[in-house]
Amino acid sequence: MLLLILPISFLLYYFYPGSKLPKGKAIDRIEVYKSKRRMRVYYGNVLLKTYRIALGKNPVGHKEFEGDCKTPEGIYTIDGKNPNSAFHKNLGVSYPNEKDVEHAMTLGKSAGGDIKIHGLRNGFGYRRKFHRWKNWTAGCIAVTDDEIDELYEAVEIGAVIEIFP
């Protein structure tokens, strides 16, 4: 019986559609809760949707330097959109700020950059929600391809993103 239930459970998880972002809504604020692996999006004070996410391979603590595989913590903005990303599509996060650069310099390292909210690596979209089972990015925030499509349309350039531990 277990041999039948387990595959059916995986198939349901894989194909069961998640909730959709309400059509025509703009996003001007994003909150990321690293320890909960959740990202909430808002317009004003109205919560529009909560996403389950994957983070950097070494998610505990604030990003200190390039290559540490940590997702930054703090207040940043969405500073760009890329429809031709190696990870389906992406939204740029304004990391590093001046404080991040200064801290990395005290360590004798580069702060790095290219922190994004992105979908799955091109050619790996079939993994869909299963990507959430493991933190796998180099410090970015990952969602499914369907989710980055809706975020790409709704997130405003200049939207505030606050990343909490």
Catalytic residue chosen out of the listed positions 88, 103, 131, 140:
140
Asked if 140 is an active-site residue, the reply is yes
Tokens of 137: 């990015």
Verify whether residue 69 is a known catalytic residue.
no
**What span, in angstroms and rounded, lies between the C-alpha atoms of 128 and 157?**
26
User: Rounded distance, CA 4 to CA 9, Å?
Assistant: 9
Q: Which two tokens stand for residue 107?
A: 């360590």
The C-alpha atoms of residue 9 and residue 89 are separated, in whole angstroms, by 29
From the list 62, 88, 103, 118, the catalytic residue is 118
Catalytic residue IDs: 118, 140
